[in-house]
A and B are shown apart, each in its own frame.
Chain A
């Protein structure tokens, strides 16, 4: 019973905080561009408006893909510890989270390509390629952390940082993970997959109304999973509230960075990730092996 309540708490946090922060980030970008910007609750309106419309569907795989995407991400989110709010204590293995996350991605990709539009296929191909770029340095830097603390459980990784934050102990790994995080979020230098002006917003090209709304929810939850993992692993011990503060800080930082950068081409993304962050991640792993941890 407690598990159900905790899961519900995690999901509701994801929903409210996630959508709020997305609105906040739009506001921040507007302010950087010297605009007034939409209200902070704009994304709630957008989601529910989208859900209220009468959309079109391209058949069962289109629907199923969306459901699988949202279901997979909800399942993933349930395993992410939000500070001391852990839905499944002991079972929050990092690999599980990372790979369960792929269910959502696969579902989305499948549903979108199932629409039959080549733009979405191109977008998905780009998204997968980008994943090949950012996932490797991210996993290496996180693996170095796991190797150092001898555990793969995210909450234990968080609790192991009693003396100081992992980010300070392994600064290179932290930087690599943050750069990879930008790629995961699809933030500006790495928003190649959904490039609206090139491929008509890529995977989402055929999404309308309800489907768009569900996908926006999925996107919100994914952001929560991605940043949540980073906060748990790198930013020290936190309870529920400090977790949300740290989360907000990271999210705003990512927004600030992305709002001033142009877009990479897809092969530039891969080249970049496999040169700089991967090299740094290896360096970090070497330091960990040698015991050079601050």
Chain B
């Protein structure tokens, strides 16, 4: 059943190649279909393709973590598909392919398969990022992505040599110290590009700030989330938290460096993309404390971040110099940015508290300091942008004429998401439940192994 999540979008993409102008209007239905499909699926189900048992065949694993990750990612796709304005006509196909590959990436229980899906995702992302004639950024992304892919493949090879298997559960069962010395490094480099770790995230500002709304809205939310899921899956479930101390340091460096770089940006999209990098770094350093609580906090924070970023990126890319004509949009933007900063009443505050609590629980005093320091810088630039947009300095009348109103569906969706942010600020249980499920799925690697390989 879960294979349909990959197959249906792909199939529709290929079927509708001749009608690619019309495909835009089918997207919501596809997204809705996969969402419903996921909700219908039972958790703790392993799908052996072709009937081959676990270590030998290709498996699609649907456990707590992948189930909820799928829900999150598909909701994002669904929401995006409801905003056809921002999807350029050629990109609808890519949208579908991306959807298929990300679903696959989350579902797969096989290291090589994950490489394949990673590459498909990357290719789709390259094409997406070349929209609005942003070829140089896309080229950068392509180069980096290819190198990363090579390393990922290398890691896959080494792990096959080391353990004789490509199945994640099998690797997890059979890891040994010799193997651990090399493979995490290679995989880490392979994933570092996509998880935006310093200094390999140079492509992010160029790609996110291309001016297209879709590119950052999908890359910073759905793709990032799935990459983070994959990262957690591999490093926590498979490698049992090995190598995470290095990730921790890289994460912290990423936070500081990205926030500092964001401070001086004079382009809102670039500033936001640096914020995105910083939040990714924060997430990585939080989950590298490797406990159930820290993972919960980390994924909760990631959820808040992508919710906020979803709103922020779409508005930043589609709004002009001010909110003069788009007040509702502006309100959504402000709510999202307050959540990003972590003002009370908004979702970001809850995750910040949780992170602080977890960090203190682990006797970790560096992370809170870095987090608070980074937040201060973030406050500086995010709020500066808010003020700049709300109180534009000197808008010429003809410029004011030119800024068009966003259409109602965009505003509605953005407002709903903003409302979700506020609701989460008061009742974080929904997000918290997702985060807790993902965390429990990732940390409980014994259950994962038994689930996939059968009762051994």
Consider the complex of A and B and state whether they touch directly, i.e. have CB atoms less than 8 Å apart: no
Taking beta carbons and an 8 Å cutoff, which residues of A are in contact with B? none
Chain B contact residues, CB within 8 Å of chain A: none
